[in-house]
Amino acid sequence: MQFGLFLKGAGLKLEDALTFWRSEFSQKVGSERFDKEYAYSIRHNYGKEGKRTDYTSYSCQKIISATPGVGDHHGCPYRHFGEENLRAALNNMGVGGNALEGILDKVKNRHYQLACTMTFEATHGVSCDTGINHPNQYFSESQKVLQAKNQTVQSQLST
């Protein structure tokens, strides 16, 4: 649900969400079972079933305060990953050196959103003065940085 609502918040339309989740779930449960057991929940998240509530994606605070169960694959990586797994994930994102140690220090002191903001700054090479308070904010701010970089490249190529 957390990931589905994130994708919705990032702009994924209902029909595209159904296509995406069907392709993912059908590999394990089959298309017919997906339609019977899972499609309803996806439409429900978009306010098209049940009480027709249009659900929004989870904020950082909600994700941080949730406790994933054994075998679950959701939650805040800064809150729910062990140090070794978090270090490996950050290294895979190209974060190292002082930035990495600073992030891990914030995590040890339970400042998970500050750690996330520091990761954003380290991976994007820009300052994020507002801080990161929502996964969709991280996504939209990332899009802005990428668009600005693409515009710079395009103007350099046209000169």
DSSP string over 14-53? HHHHHHHHHHHHHHHH-HHHHHHHTHHHHHHHTTSSTT--
pTM: 0.86
Using one digit for the tens of pLDDT, what is the confidence trace for 92-127?
999 999 999 999 999 999 999 999 999 999 999 999
Q: Return the percent helix, strand and coil in the chain, to nearest 5.
A: 65, 0, 35
With a cut of 50, list the residues of the chain below it in pLDDT: none
Same domain, 39 and 86: no
* Listed residue (156, 157, 120) closest to 138, CA to CA: 120
Look up the domain containing 109 and give its range: 79-158
* Element spanning 61, H or E: helix 60-65
Domain assignment present for 19: yes
> How far apart (Å, rounded) are the C-alpha atoms in residues 101 and 113?
15
Number of domains present in the structure of the chain:
2
Domain assignment present for 135: yes
Same domain, 87 and 41: no
